[in-house]
Structure 1
Amino acid sequence: MIAETVASAVSVAGLGIAAVTAYRKRFLSATRIAAYSLVPIGLVMTGVVGWVSDMVFKPSVWAGFGVLGIAWLLFVATRAVERKDGGTRKERKAAKAAQREAVAPAASAPSLGPATRPAAQPAPRAKAAAPAEDFTDIEAILKKHGI
């Protein structure tokens, strides 16, 4: 009963403020204030305020919140123990991937027998450039800056 009276008083006060705002020619703001002020009376008319007030003042509801809190603590505790024992999710994924990996990955390619043509000889490497030639650009930049 008190919650409904308070909600009605808030709605009436909000509509009064909206009227004053509209008198000052701020119609957009007045409309918005009127919309907000109609919400509490709408909640009273739909019965939401009665439902919430009944829920808040019942001890069984608070006991239910306590049970939910205990359940949440149990979930958190089991997650902490699981992480302590089993490592992180990344470590578990890496362990599973290692189990799926082949025993001898290099041996997985099929053998085709001896080659029918001689293996190609690697191309002779070009003579490495002299180290002085490699740094000519750097030396030019350093000389340009006076270093």
Structure 2
Amino acid sequence: MLTDTICAALSAAGLGIAGLTAYRKRFLAAARIAAYALIPLGLALTGVLDWLTDVVFKPSIWLGFGLLGLSWALFMITRAVEHRSGGARQDGTRKERRAAAAAERAGGVSAGASEPALGPGGGATAAKAPGKPKTKGGTSSGTDDFSDIEAILKKHGI
């Protein structure tokens, strides 16, 4: 009830100032002041202020906000500690991950990666006909290149 009265008084004062501004032929500024002046009255009539005063003056709500803040702080602290310690998680220790990374760097590409994608016996060398002459410069002829492409397209069902 008191908040409604205060909001109505604020709106009336704001509309009075807007009227004086409009009297001075500053209509754009007057319209803007009137828009700001109507906000408190609109909040009071919609009931937002009653909800807001209930939130401000209830200790249980502040306790809830405090618990949410504590939860957020715990999340941030655990993330910072995890980041600082190298991100050790349940999927293995740091030594195991370092050993796996070192083996990956030392091995480079795995041995199976250099195999042709067409499977056994279906690689680029099997697609070329033996005994075909090579063209100048050591490259294969144009028909051999197309047979390789054709084999790849057949493998993918195209």
Q: Which interval holds the TM-score relative to the shorter structure?
A: 0.5 to 0.7
**Aligned position for 1:41:** 41
Which ranges in structure 2 are unaligned for 5 or more consecutive residues? 90-100, 139-158
Cα 1:80–1:22 change in 2 (3 A) is same
> Secondary structure in 2 aligned to 1:85?
coil
**Aligned position for 2:87:** 85
Which ranges in structure 1 are unaligned for 5 or more consecutive residues? 88-94, 124-147
Aligned 1:90-129 pairs, distance under 5 A: 103-109=111-117, 110-111=122-123, 112-113=125-126, 116=130, 117-119=132-134, 122=137
Task: Describe the superposition over 1:8-33 as per-residue Cα deviations: whole angstroms up to 9, x where unpaired.
Answer: 22211111110100110112221221
- RMSD in angstroms over aligned alpha carbons? 2.9
With structure 2 as the length reference, what TM-score do the two structures score?
A: 0.57
Q: Distance in 1 between matches of 2:88 and 2:4?
A: 54
**Aligned position for 1:67:** 67
Q: Distance in 2 between matches of 1:103 and 1:61?
A: 62
Q: Distance in 2 between matches of 1:103 and 1:64?
A: 58
Percent sequence identity is 50
Aligned residues: 112
**Aligned position for 2:20:** 20
Query: How far does residue 102 in structure 1 lie from its aligned partner after superposition?
Result: 5.4
Task: Describe the superposition over 1:28-80 as per-residue Cα deviations: whole angstroms up to 9, x where unpaired.
Answer: 22122112101101111111111101110110010010111122123223333
**Aligned position for 2:152:** none
AA matched with 1:105: A
With structure 1 as the length reference, what TM-score do the two structures score?
A: 0.61
Cα 1:59–1:29 change in 2 (3 A) is same
Query: How far does residue 5 in structure 1 lie from its aligned partner after superposition?
Result: 3.1
Q: Distance in 2 between matches of 1:8 and 1:32?
A: 18
